[in-house]
Structure 1
Amino acid sequence: MDYTKGGLKQQLCYANLWWSVSHQAPAVAFAHKGYHILLEKPMAVTAEDCKEIVRACKTSNVILSVCHVLRYHPVALKIKELLNAGLIGDICHIQHLEPVGFWHFAHSFVRGNWRNEAESSFSLLAKSCHDIDLINFWIGNKRCLKLSSFGSLSHFTRENKPKGAASCCLNCSIEQTCPYSAKKIYLEQAKQGCFSWPVSVVCNSGEYDIESLTEALRHGPYGRCVYECDNDVVSNQVVNMEFEGGATAAFTMVAFTEKLGVRKTTIYGTKGELSCQGAGPVEVFDFLQKKKNIFPPNKMPSEPRCLSGHDSSDYYLMESFISAIAENNPSLIQTGAEETLNSHLLVFEAERSRREDRVVFLEI
């Protein structure tokens, strides 16, 4: 798509705030200067900062789009389409699982950028605000009334360090027995000629060869023993929610899985049951007909290869944002300010429930 024709180039001035913990200050500053904002999730690391960003965008009348990319995923959209069509009747319960992946959690949440809450944020916000947002998306305009949450940091602690293990995987005599070995996660992939993610994160110097990778693992954070890191974020968490009308939802995030990000969703309705895993298809069992129907995700047009991530969702997120600015039509965005703020606030309340070990009742 070429949005630079017909004078549109001048209209498409926006601030792209990406992969920064401190979103609040730049987002508010850009909003006050009249820039439309494409904001990576999470919006910010405190509820008040999230609210301040939304207030600034509303006051300055600028478009805010948060990168909840899963709302643009073909499967998520097909599920929403089937729910809106009434194929399973009224929603009674949503069960949703995010499997983080055993080595992915070690990479990102034990050794990596999101390992320590003081330096980034808590796990549910950093990893799973997508999923709480999806549940809100599917449940529709029903408000969450109360929620509870439980979770903890399992396994990746000093108490679980195997006897004889070294502080660095490259010097460890028992490394071959450890599934979280940096050699297994990074060096084995690089030796096959693949220096893409996650190896590319380790080679932040821009030198992509075995020698540079080995040096980075020997002296950098990604070669550390997973039992000796400064990580403190939880590795498994559940969130239970009750919505207006009695519908409930249960979300689970867990580190220790074979699959990485292959989400599983089951939605139970009064007329049928909907289920889906990963990239689909979506299955619906009709109670009346006692028959299962298969619904493949809608086929998307081709997209630039550089934006093909998340099954083309990256492309459609960008397309919706640019189109909304070009046409001055915020409704083209799936993840606008108020709705995104609502789902973020649920994440903060869920974490409060976990820390305080109690049910949180939300204000009417």
Structure 2
Amino acid sequence: MTVRVAIIGCGNRGADVYASHLGHQGVQITHLVEPRPGRLWEVAGRYGVAPEACFATWNSFFALGRVADAVVIATPDDAHVEPCLKALSLGYDVLLEKPVCLSPHELPLLLAAEAVSTGRVTVCHVLRATPFFQEIRAVLDSGALGQLVGIQHAENVAYWHYAHSYVRGNWRASPPAAPFVLAKSGHDLDLLRWFAGAPPRTVRSVGGLHHFTPANAPAGASDRCVTCPVHACPYDARGIYTTRSADRWPVTVLTAGGISLEEALESGPYGQCVYLGLNNVADHQAVTVTFANGVVAQLTVSAFTHNNTRTLKLLGSHGELRGHMERGELELHDFRTREPRIWNVPVAGIHGGGDTALVAAWLAFLRGEQGVPTPLHESLDSHRIAFMAEEQRMSAL
């Protein structure tokens, strides 16, 4: 059976990631929704979607009724809930990009809509599907750590990645985008929930915008990097983008729709100075979560790191597990045998292979070969934690 899927939102995640993996795994991309005409026709040509199956708005697409087996919703952060509710009302199964919403009040709406629909929602928490974190889950399930007591998890965003996505990019201001801890660390909060094996009970958080403000602009800095006389700025867009592959993220974000990299740096948001004050999300934040079973997890998410990776420790009554995602390295210390074990897990591909694996799991669900990859109510716990964390952070400012 050929599965037919519509893509709602043809940005990097919708068109370059999910649609690509779906196509490679035998899915027929039947319809596209994208408000930018240049991008819409570019993606339509790539996947062979007919002009009459391309739409500028999701309302126009849904007016057709149910014309595919499932939909991917990868619209901007503030435009996830409404199309998801409409998709569920038509009985579509939905692959929903995170964050699923920007307000805790919208979480019950999604749960209620799914409860009366024949469709099911899979949130794009791709890290659960990576071989690296699957291996960590297997260690937990083996009992090697004994009773899990604590988790120390760091999301090292990398200075250039933060500048790209959270100063110059779509997630620089909340609202309309999600707060930093949800936009960037929704995956990580979902991992903490998965490892703890229980819903959250209490959340504490502190953090703020420490560096990317007009007060920290170097003397003489221009409003655009291409005209800036300041030397050795770590956030110089020319250094970030011109040294990277032209056919891969993040450069493809700048050139989407057919514009050149030079044009993007001269006139687009990705060529702007990071000190203009156009961003308001945190650049360093710490979150402590106590789960219902007593497990205490600590997450630190920071712009001020060299590597773009995740590092963590799982602390148990009988052992400690250390992990470094970028290297695919795991280190287990068993307190009983006193013999350490160090091994590596493949981490090739975007998100360590998680994008490909999540799409495969979702397709297995659509084909009736397995259940939904993660129940919606469990996926939404990551959002509950993030909303509580942001409320805590803001109240402490």
Say whether the fold is shared (TM-score over 0.5). yes
* Residue of structure 1 in register with 2:297 after alignment: 249
Show CA shifts across 1:55-95 (max 9, x none). 11111131110000000011111111110111010011100
SS of the residue corresponding to residue 81 of structure 1 reads helix
Does structure 1 retain, via aligned residues, the 8 Å contact 2:99–2:178?
A: no
Shift in Å, 1:31: 0.1
Show CA shifts across 1:275-314 (max 9, x none). 11015232110111111023443x79xxxx9xx4323221
SS of the residue corresponding to residue 320 of structure 1 reads helix
Separation in structure 2 between the aligned mates of residue 240 and residue 254 of structure 1, nearest angstrom: 15
Runs of 4+ in 1 over 4 A off after TM superposition: 1-4, 8-12
Bigger RCO of structures 1 and 2 (CA < 8 A, at least 6 apart): 1
Coordinate RMSD, CA, aligned: 2.3
Separation in structure 1 between the aligned mates of residue 351 and residue 190 of structure 2, nearest angstrom: 16
* Residue of structure 1 in register with 2:236 after alignment: 181
Q: For 1:1-364, what aligned pairs fall within 5 Å after superposition?
A: 13-21=69-77, 22-140=79-197, 142-174=198-230, 176-189=231-244, 194-207=246-259, 212-260=260-308, 262-278=309-325, 279-297=327-345, 308-327=349-368, 329-331=370-372, 333=373, 335-357=374-396
Q: What is the percentage of aligned positions where both structures have the same residue?
A: 35
Shift in Å, 1:11: 11
Shift in Å, 1:3: 5.6
Does structure 2 retain, via aligned residues, the 8 Å contact 1:242–1:249?
A: yes
Aligned residues: 336
Separation in structure 2 between the aligned mates of residue 348 and residue 341 of structure 1, nearest angstrom: 11
Shift in Å, 1:204: 2.9
Cα 1:205–1:36 change in 2 (3 A) is: closer
Shift in Å, 1:13: 0.3
With the length of structure 2 as denominator, give the TM-score of the two structures.
0.80
SS of the residue corresponding to residue 242 of structure 2 reads helix
Separation in structure 2 between the aligned mates of residue 154 and residue 233 of structure 1, nearest angstrom: 10
Does structure 1 retain, via aligned residues, the 8 Å contact 2:199–2:381?
A: no
Show CA shifts across 1:154-188 (max 9, x none). 110000011111111111111x2201001111233
Specify every segment of 5 or more residues in structure 1 that has no aligned partner in the other structure, as ranges: 359-364
Show CA shifts across 1:225-274 (max 9, x none). 110141000001000112234321100000011101x1001011000100
SS of the residue corresponding to residue 197 of structure 1 reads coil
Letter in 2 for 1:181: D
Separation in structure 1 between the aligned mates of residue 175 and residue 126 of structure 2, nearest angstrom: 26
Separation in structure 2 between the aligned mates of residue 2 and residue 269 of structure 1, nearest angstrom: 45
Specify every segment of 5 or more residues in structure 2 that has no aligned partner in the other structure, as ranges: 5-26, 29-65
Does structure 2 retain, via aligned residues, the 8 Å contact 1:47–1:348?
A: yes
* Residue of structure 2 in register with 1:361 after alignment: none
SS of the residue corresponding to residue 196 of structure 1 reads coil
Separation in structure 1 between the aligned mates of residue 379 and residue 112 of structure 2, nearest angstrom: 13
Separation in structure 2 between the aligned mates of residue 225 and residue 251 of structure 1, nearest angstrom: 29
Separation in structure 1 between the aligned mates of residue 162 and residue 204 of structure 2, nearest angstrom: 24
Does structure 1 retain, via aligned residues, the 8 Å contact 2:94–2:119?
A: yes
Separation in structure 1 between the aligned mates of residue 311 and residue 367 of structure 2, nearest angstrom: 36
Letter in 2 for 1:108: S
Does structure 1 retain, via aligned residues, the 8 Å contact 2:94–2:121?
A: yes
Shift in Å, 1:12: 6.9
Cα 1:38–1:214 change in 2 (3 A) is: same
